[in-house]
Structure 1
Amino acid sequence: MARVVCIHGIGRQHTGERELRGAWHPALSDGLTRAGAVTDLAADDVRCVFYGDLFRPPGRTLALGDPPLDASDVADGFEAELLLAWWAEAARTDGTVLPPDARTLARTPQAVQRALNALSRSRFFAGVALRGLVLDLRQVRGYLCDPALRDAVQQRVADAVTERTRVVVGHSLGSVVAYEALCARPDWPVRTLLTLGSPLGVRNLVFDRLRTGPTGSPGDWPGSVRHWTNLADAGDVVALVKDLRPLFGERVRCQVVHNGARAHDATRYLNTAEAGRAVEEGCRETGEAGV
């Protein structure tokens, strides 16, 4: 039974829970070391919730790769708007990316193609194929707009959290999953929420679509959580809004970290002293520090 439950973000459909834990557990441990923490996390203390397979077409194997997608596969509405928001943020943080102009923001098919072209040349999305960008957009839309898919993801989180769980970590879209799960289940014993590269602060597209239980509303404090730390790299395009306090309250500790060229990388977030301090804080409240 894990003390720390971690939830991944977009683009992880070709991995799995054990592979993720193999990367995330050492990064978490390094973060604790950087923080000078006394908590020692064994591998069994960490569990990664995996839901990427829900986005993977049935009957496919890794050898076949992703389906061939292009600009025409970006749906009007949510997907196009999120793509353009990523483009604008990439241009703001990366001088090599030409910014969109007023005409581009009309969300025409040409604008979508220009956005994909610009992002594919940015530092942030370096190495990500165009089809990968389109699939990432689809995954965000799928979770936020498909109730059945959302319920399936949430069930996997519920299956992972036990009476021993004190820390929940959410990266990227996983931070949205984590927030919603904690809001809907205030009886959970979780004391610390750590969000990394989170899009929770993006109004209209994300914040206004949050599902927080039958009596809740977006911006509510996440259930039984006592401490919420949000980390964002200044160049993280997914984390369009770095400071969550205007929407979620002054209790959220919002900190900017520096992840180098891989601004959105989960392990680079996890191995920071800031992440280590947040995890230590949650484990310490259980009386299990040093176990």
Structure 2
Amino acid sequence: MARRLRPVTWAIVIFPVRPERHWEEPRSREVLRGYSGSMAAILGVHGIWCDQATGPATQREWTERVRIGLQENHHPDPHSVEVRVAYYGHLYLDGKGTTGITADDPEDLDEFEQEILFGMVEAAGIAPAGSGQDKLGLPSSFQTALRGLVNTPFFGSATTSGVLWLIKQVRRYFADTAFRAAVHREIEIAMEDDTKVVVAHSLGSVAAYEALRAHPEWPARTLITLGSPLGLPGIMKRISPALSRGTEWPGSVRTWVNVAAKEDPVALVKKLRTPYDRRIDDRPAINTIIRGHDASQYLRNLSTATALIDALR
């Protein structure tokens, strides 16, 4: 006789789902240690156009290019050199700045933005001409300047919108106090007790310079600025704290090397000794014309590599 099976009663227990925790505070030093795998003697500060990149990708690229430069210039152990990047590109994605700029936006460039634009035009050897208004709501000479920059090899495949975004990123750093402080905070978090040298590119050189001036207790002894716009008068008058005689030197730094390529239209003033301090070691560089301002070109450059070798001794 077949045995009858007792019916089974299933019980479903529903546990409350704990919501995923999102970081509300800036990343800690402990998090950053896991991010790079080890402490690093080199702290990198990236520049403009990194908002669509990621922190890990930027750090990998910087580390690779730095190691190539060191190897080519006979550093005894380039692959042991670690680079930690203070990444702030994500801060531009908060929806508060100017995003999605296109050639049809009826926005005016303010006086500071015009100064940046025409400075790059001058550096690129373009002479804008014309008068009246064009579709951006800008004088047609502005349109000529934008188109001229896009048609030069200096910015690679950048569009008019890309050049405008570059200018807007620079302006936001100076105009938005909270944003500026957040950038400095990323540098502070990334600074380690054994950081020997800060390598800063483009707008990052401005942020690093200001942060170092504000923190003379930091351990970094060498500052290397790459493709820096620090010499532009419009930027100099916006440096915080304001520049005054005898206050130009950045904090604990003992050696400041400034590297500027002749093909770089952003590093408008190639030598910073006169506007800042006669102790600055201004070094020339040659980058490819199509990537005259790229960090990848600067990081493996002879002038940068030899400065790093000296700083890491």
Cα distance in 2 between the residues matched to 1:148 and 1:48: 21
Of residues 266, 280, 285, the one that matches 2:309 is 280
Which range is displaced more, 131-140 or 219-228? Answer: 219-228
For residues 22-62 of structure 1, the C-alpha deviation after alignment (integer angstroms, 9 at most, x for no partner) is 1111111111123322353546x211111111112549xxx
Name the CA shift for 1:76/1:100 in 2 (closer, same or farther; >3 Å): same
Aligned to 1:288: none
- 1:11-50 equivalences under 5 Å are 11-38=49-76, 40-42=78-80, 45-50=82-87
Separation of aligned partners in 1, 2:54 and 2:255: 29
Task: Give the CA deviation at 1:68.
Answer: 3.0
Q: 1:196 aligns with which of 223, 226, 229?
A: 226
- Please give the alpha-carbon distance, in whole angstroms, between the structure 1 residues aligned to 2:86 and 2:163: 23
Q: Tell me the CA shift for residue 242 of structure 1.
A: 0.1
AA aligned opposite 2:251: G
Partner AA of 2:297 in structure 1? R
1:53 aligns with 2:81: no
1:143–1:40 Cα change, 3 Å:
same
Distance 1:76 1:109 in 2: 12
Number of equivalent positions = 268
Letter in 2 for 1:158: E
Q: Provide TM-score, normalisation by structure 1.
A: 0.85
Q: CA deviation at 1:88?
A: 1.4
Question: C-alpha deviations, 1:216-248, integer Å up to 9, x for none?
Answer: 779611111111111111010000000000012
Q: Determine the structure 2 residue equivalent to 1:243.
A: 271
Root-mean-square deviation (Å): 2.4
Q: Does 1:146 align with 2:176?
A: yes
Q: What amino acid is aligned across from residue 114 of structure 1 in structure 2?
A: T
1:209 maps to which of 231, 238, 241: 238
Distance 1:200 1:172, change over 3 A: same
8 Å contact from structure 1 (residues 28, 271) kept in 2: yes
Residues 71, 112 of structure 1: 8 Å contact kept: no
Q: How far off its partner does 1:265 sit?
A: 1.1
| SS of alignment partner, residue 251 of structure 1 | coil
**Offset, 1:138:** 0.7
> Does structure 1 residue 256 correspond to structure 2 residue 294?
no
Q: Name the CA shift for 1:41/1:51 in 2 (closer, same or farther; >3 Å).
A: same
**1:94-133 aligned within 5 A:** 97=126, 99-100=127-128, 109-133=139-163
Q: Secondary structure at the match of 2:106?
A: helix
Which whole-Å deviations, capped at 9, do the CAs of 1:186-241 have from their partners, x for residues lacking one?
Answer: 111101111100000111x111111148x977961111111111111101000000
Identity of aligned residues (%): 36
Amino acid at match of 1:36: H
User: What code does the residue aligned with 2:298 have?
Assistant: Y
Give the match for residue 155 of structure 1: 185
Which one-letter code corresponds to 1:192 in the other structure? Answer: T
Which structure is larger by alpha-carbon Rg, 1 or 2?
2
| Shift in Å, 1:185 | 0.5
Identify if the C-alpha distance between structure 1 residues 218 and 196 changes in structure 2 by more than 3 Å, giving closer, same or farther.
farther
Q: 1:35 to 1:212 in 2, by over 3 A?
A: farther
| TM-score, scaled to structure 2 | 0.79
For residues 246 and 193 of structure 2, the distance between their equivalents in structure 1, rounded to whole angstroms, comes to 26
Corresponding residue for residue 289 of structure 1: none
Q: Which runs of 5+ in 1 are unaligned?
A: 60-64, 92-96, 285-291
Gaps of 5+ in 2: 1-38
- 2:296 corresponds to 1:267: yes
Counterpart residue type for residue 237 of structure 1: P
Judge conservation of contact 1:207–1:218 (CA < 8 Å) in 2: no
Checking the alignment, whether the CA contact within 8 Å between 2:284 and 2:303 is kept in structure 1 is no
For the Cα contact (< 8 Å) 1:72–1:109, is it kept in 2? no
Give secondary structure in 2 for the equivalent of 1:246. coil
* Cα drift, residue 4 of structure 1: 0.7
> Is 1:223 the equivalent of 2:251?
yes
Q: Which amino acid aligns with 2:249?
A: W
Deviates more, 1:67-76 or 1:222-231: 67-76
Structure 1 29/218 Cα, relative in aligned 2: closer, same or farther at 3 Å?
farther
